[in-house]
Amino acid sequence: MIRRLGSLALLLAFVPTTAFAQDEGIPVTVEVRDEVGEIISTAVVRHPNEKEQHKVNTETGRWTEKVLYMMDGSEYIFAKGEILTFEVSAPGFKNATVTYVVRKRKNLIPVQLEKLDLDLTEDQDMSPNINFGRDKPLDK
């Protein structure tokens, strides 16, 4: 009898409870695409109060998380009804800021970035000319 109760207790120890699932956070996914609908594999996602930038998956253009770690060391756990703000950026595209209210499930935030309108012609050479000491001609 004691052996059966021990097995039952061990089994129950690994069953997730509702309180544990709520503490864990709700997954939120950000998907980054351009105006044509192509994924932007070089995009990064960041919360304004967070130091770290999160890279999207290069194949799917998505980033998914349940919790963020703020600069002050605290955890920001995503919960139903919370309002999230993210800054999304990628090289060659205009930055975007999105706001989203977390639902119980299926939290997908589609983000569409606009290409930067850069006109780099030969007349506009953007590279600086830096001379080093060894680049100066020697007097003979």
pTM value is: 0.67
Q: In angstroms, rounded to a whole number, what is the distance separating the alpha carbons of residues 38 and 95?
A: 17
pLDDT the model gives residue 16: 42
pLDDT the model gives residue 95: 94
Q: In angstroms, rounded to a whole number, what is the distance separating the alpha carbons of residues 93 and 89?
A: 7
Q: In angstroms, rounded to a whole number, what is the distance separating the alpha carbons of residues 97 and 29?
A: 15
What tokens does 6 get?
């021990």
What tokens does 83 get?
């309002």
Tell me the three-class secondary structure of 33-85, residue by residue.
ECCCCCECCCCEEECCCCCCCEECCCCCCEEEECEEECCCCCEEECCCCCEEE
**Cα 35 versus chain centre, distance:** 20
Instruction: Look at 134 and 25; give whichever has higher pLDDT.
Output: 25
- Average pLDDT for residues 23-38, to the nearest whole number? 92
The confidence band for 51, taking pLDDT boundaries of 50, 70 and 90, is confident
CATH superfamily membership of 29-114: Carboxypeptidase-like, regulatory domain (2.60.40.1120)
Q: pLDDT per residue over 77-132, tens digit each?
A: 999 999 999 999 999 999 999 999 999 999 999 999 999 887 656 555 566 666 56
Share of the chain above pLDDT 70, in %: 68
**Amino acid, single-letter form, for residue 3:** R
Instruction: Look at 121 and 55; give whichever has higher pLDDT.
Output: 55
